[in-house]
Amino acid sequence: MFLVGLTGGIASGKSSVIQVFQQLGCAVVDVDVIARQVVQPGYPAHRRIVEAFGTEVLLENGNINRKVLGDLIFNQPDRRHLLNTITHPEIRKEMMKETFKYFLRGYRYVILDIPLLFETKKLLKYMKHTVVVYCDRDTQLARLMRRNGLNREDAEARIKAQLPLKDKVRMAHHVLDNSGEWSLTKRQVVLLHGELERSLEYLPLRLGVLTGLAGIAGLLYLLTRYLLPSP
């Protein structure tokens, strides 16, 4: 099994592309969902956030107030770094758990939906392939204004706050161009899925694991023969 990192930009159509992959039966791990999950009450990160930032970051039901926490770390790199040191290890741990589940179920590859894949760069070394969902700037702007009910100035500000899609395209192994008709985008997704499914890049890891398991089974057998008395 190998990992495929998928990213895009605001209003580029990444969520719609992910839905097509899922309809095709692909394994998808959504990092945003995991990030929200690990800060829920009962998780270690929740307790550590309260210890570090105080109970003022809590809602009445005990959940983290994401807006209050965001305001606390806004323009404060030290506090943002502290939050990241609390949440990132837990996020990576849950990602590994989800990925391993898919490995055991025999999937050839797993898609990791990572919005800031190229911005943080921390997970890039684990990705065999990277995919960017792209659309041209005018299309992105029009879609964002229509979807969020924004004026042009506000929409442009949100787009400028992110790494430009054209920069992500230069760093990606694969590009899904979602600038035109959705049917064309969907066809690109189907073709990419076929290419990844035909790839034999999953074999080394799977063969290595199977070899290791066979070795362990052999060792257990020898120990059993040695420790148990003969009839």
Residue whose tokens read 């939050």: 83
Summarised one tens digit per residue, pLDDT across range 129-168 is 999 999 999 999 999 999 999 999 999 999 998 999 999 9
Mean pLDDT for the chain?
88
Summarised one tens digit per residue, pLDDT across range 167-198 is 999 999 999 999 999 999 999 999 999 999 98
In this structure, is residue 96 part of a structural domain?
A: yes
Residue 41 has pLDDT above 60, yes or no: yes
Residue 17 has pLDDT above 60, yes or no: yes
Q: Report how far Cα 177 is from the mean position of its chain's Cα atoms.
A: 20
- Identify whether residues 179 and 81 lie together within a single domain: no
Q: How far apart are CA 18 and CA 25, in angstroms?
A: 11
Which of 181, 160, 192 is CA-nearest to residue 9?
160
Domain boundary among 106, 125, 149: 106
Residue 71 confidence (pLDDT) = 86
In this structure, is residue 102 part of a structural domain?
A: yes
Residue 228 confidence (pLDDT) = 53
Over pLDDT 70: what percentage of the chain? Answer: 87
Q: For the residues 92-119, what does the mean pLDDT come to?
A: 92
CATH of the domain at 121: 3.40.50.300
- Identify whether residues 67 and 4 lie together within a single domain: no
Strand partners, 175: 132
- Identify whether residues 82 and 123 lie together within a single domain: no
- Identify whether residues 21 and 115 lie together within a single domain: yes
- Identify whether residues 22 and 91 lie together within a single domain: no
Q: For the residues 14-43, what does the mean pLDDT come to?
A: 95
Question: Which H or E element spans position 124?
Answer: none
- Exposure string for 92-107, b = 16+ CB within 10 A, e = fewer: bebbeebbeebbeeeb
pLDDT band at 120 (very low <50, low <70, confident <90, very high): confident
In this structure, is residue 127 part of a structural domain?
A: yes
What is the tally of structural domains in the chain?
A: 3
Q: 138: domain range?
A: 1-27+111-199
Residue 226 confidence (pLDDT) = 56
In this structure, is residue 32 part of a structural domain?
A: no
Sign of CA dihedral 159, 38, 122, 212: negative
- Identify whether residues 75 and 4 lie together within a single domain: no
